[in-house]
Amino acid sequence: MSKFVSYLKTSSFRNNLLAAIITVVVILLAAFFSLRYYTKHGQGLNVPTLKGLAFTQAVSKLEELGLRYEVDSVYVQDSPPGIVIDQDPEAETFVKDNRTIYLTVNVALAPNVKFPDVEFKSLREAQALIESFGLKLGDTTYKPDVSRDVVLQALFGGQPVAAGTSMPKGSRIDLVLGDGKGSEEVDIPSLLGLTRDEALFALRNGAMLNLGMVSYEGDVTDSATAVVIRQDPMATDSVTKVKIGTPVNITLSNQK
């Protein structure tokens, strides 16, 4: 132990210790300055404002500053096509040279979406469904029906639209809703001799009734041309009216 203590007091130990300290300091300084050089510490620029510019203008700005870019597209109905509607990083963000800037550009044509099934859903449910598919709720009108604020029909461009129909994203959908006045009565129409589609039109649009069960009699070779040979209920001397929304069952046959 005494020899070790004596060694610590020698000039050889002090010289070795000093050399080790200097070596460590030199290594740390070299690593620090080389890292600053490698990362270009303090060198960079602020990202320019690109939102609202035409895509070609935005690209020219980025190329002048030596920045790279990647492009994504989206459709926004109320924005002009070819305009940058979003950027990442945001404007005035300090970035290194050659940094990639991500641009979102509005496309000219709206992508098509499938119309959801909103029939017999409440107005609130139908609106949520329509908006979740990227569509817009248009006008709402009411017609007599036992249910209130329930969708009886959806219209696109004034024409009935069925679930699964393809249409441009952002389209306006009008809804026909029940007014809850189902206690009113209407005359029972005669459906004899009508095809299924004609009978459906007569029930819904003429009498505000619903189509019930559809059955067939005989050898039906073409259901599109088959006509109604029986209906239930049917107007008689004792029963001429039913409540709005009442289902009417029909039997179809190719033999008139």
> For 127-166, how does the pLDDT look when each residue is reduced to its tens digit (9 = 90+)?
999 999 989 999 999 887 777 889 999 999 889 999 999 9
Higher per-residue confidence, 225 vs 38: 225
Same fold yes or no, 45-106 and 185-253? yes
Q: Is the pLDDT of residue 40 over 60?
A: no
| pLDDT score recorded for residue 50 | 92
HEC per residue, 5-68: HHHHCCHHHHHHHHHHHHHHHHHHHHHHHHHHHHHCCCCCEECCCCCCCEHHHHHHHHHHCCCE
Higher per-residue confidence, 101 vs 17: 101
| pLDDT score recorded for residue 39 | 47
- Mean pLDDT over the full length of the chain: 84
Most confident of 31-40, 53-62, 184-193, 217-226: 53-62
Instruction: For residues 224-231, give the mean pLDDT.
Output: 91
Task: Give domain limits for the chain.
Answer: 2-39, 45-106, 112-179, 185-253
228-238 confidence digits (pLDDT tens): 999 999 888 78
Q: Is the pLDDT of residue 14 over 80?
A: no
**Two tokens, residue 150:** 């329930």
Query: Is 89 in a helix, a strand, or coil?
Result: coil
pTM comes to 0.43
48-105 confidence digits (pLDDT tens): 999 989 999 999 999 888 899 999 888 777 778 889 999 998 988 888 878 899 999 9
CATH number of 45-106: 3.30.10.20
Q: Is the pLDDT of residue 34 over 80?
A: no
Residue range 112-179 in CATH 3.30.10.20: yes
| pLDDT score recorded for residue 83 | 92
What does residue 87 show for φ and ψ, rounded to 5 degrees? -145, 150
Give the domain 185-253 fold: Trypsin Inhibitor V; Chain A (3.30.10)
| pLDDT score recorded for residue 199 | 92
Q: Is the pLDDT of residue 246 over 90?
A: no
Alpha helix stretches (DSSP H) within the chain: 2-8, 11-39, 55-64, 123-132, 196-201
| pLDDT score recorded for residue 8 | 55
Quote the CA–CA distance of 2 and 62 in Å, as a whole number: 72
